[in-house]
Structure 1
Amino acid sequence: MLIQSILFFILGVAIISWLLVLISPLIWRKILHFAYQSVSAKIPLSLIEIQANYNFLCAQHAVELARHEQKYDSLQKKYAQLKIQLSKKKEQLYCSYFPAQYKPFPPTKTKKVENKNNVLAIDTFIREIKAMHEKIVRYEQRLKNIQIDELDTDAKNQLLNELCEDTKELAAALVSHIALKEGKASPINKLTKSSKNNSDLASYIRKKIANTKIE
């Protein structure tokens, strides 16, 4: 009985192997057929298909290029508009701080000279403010050295004296500009003329006003 079962098992294996040998060529041909179709769908097989793919890529590139050029032109126009708006805002800001310079003047020689003097005074004031800002930045660094005790007592006193003098310069520049803007009727002129001390803030303001008028 055991031998009979073994013989039936060997017979079944032999039949299955024989069937696989008969069917395997058909399966192999089907696999090659599907692989050929897959590769053919991806790779053009004729010059016409290659030319068609090339024309499609050229058209796609032209469309993308036109879209980017349109976007670039739009950004250029937007930049020009923003630049114009910025110029207008700067002019409005300048007018709000210095309204006297934007009042309509009659076309007379005297008014033109006054307008030119006002512009020069404003330019001088701006230069002084920039110079004082640079000094303040340097003094901030030196004040840090004072806080961490890197300087001796003499150096600290010298730095504090220089800072006091430059503070007077900055205050004098601001007040003198206000006095020039208000004109001869400004009360600042009376206060500075009444001072007899040559080292106080009033004397600094008086010198700034005189130097600006000379320039």
Structure 2
Amino acid sequence: MIELYTAATPNGHKVSIALEELDLPYDMHVLSLSNNEQKQPWYLALNPNGRIPTIVDRANDNFTVFESGAILIYLAEKTGQLLSSDPKEHSRTLQWLMFQMGGIGPMMGQANVWYRYWNETYQPAIDRYQNEVKRLFGVLDGHLKGRQFLTNELSIADIANWAWVRIYDWSGIDIKPFPHLQQWVERLDERPAFQRGINQPAAEYEQEDKATSFVKGARNMLTK
């Protein structure tokens, strides 16, 4: 049994999607980011960085893993799925995973908050991050031309990037100029495990009545 500590953010949904795709049983504990629950001492004992997600593998001596990319690798290696054993394909998967961890996630995270929260005051910052997101989308779009997935088969790299790219509108980005990327987003959206994963917990950033709560939580993650 996996204990998942998470919240309704793209980083949290990476792990819930992976758990659903891998058909691994898990118990979910949802943290309130807007109330800084991720900074509470009990949680910092699990994750000293005070971020979500974190997992505890009860079947492996209560082994704890934090950082979403590290969790995806751990789960893939644990099950022998979503990460090829072929050395070259293994490396390609990790390259695209790191592309998300170092590029897509941080840049979209910044664009989301500046565009949604300070859009009347800091247009140069909005332009900076939106332009970088568009550049990164262009990289993905070019790579996905003629491909079903980022590598030869569905992998943790697809899960990680999709969880972020799918909320492009939160960054104020139009995905239509990136047709191959848009088709990939729509294709993965049809997978039942992906649909289940983005509702564990429910994707609050897609619900107008809960949007303020999500942005407040996202801002706390960036500033604290």
Tell whether the structures are fold-level matches, with TM greater than 0.5.
Answer: no
Higher RCO by CA contacts (8 Å cutoff, separation 6 or greater): 2
Q: Which has the higher helix share?
A: 1
TM range (shorter): under 0.3
Which of 1 and 2 has greater Rg?
A: 1
TM-score (normalised: structure 2): 0.27
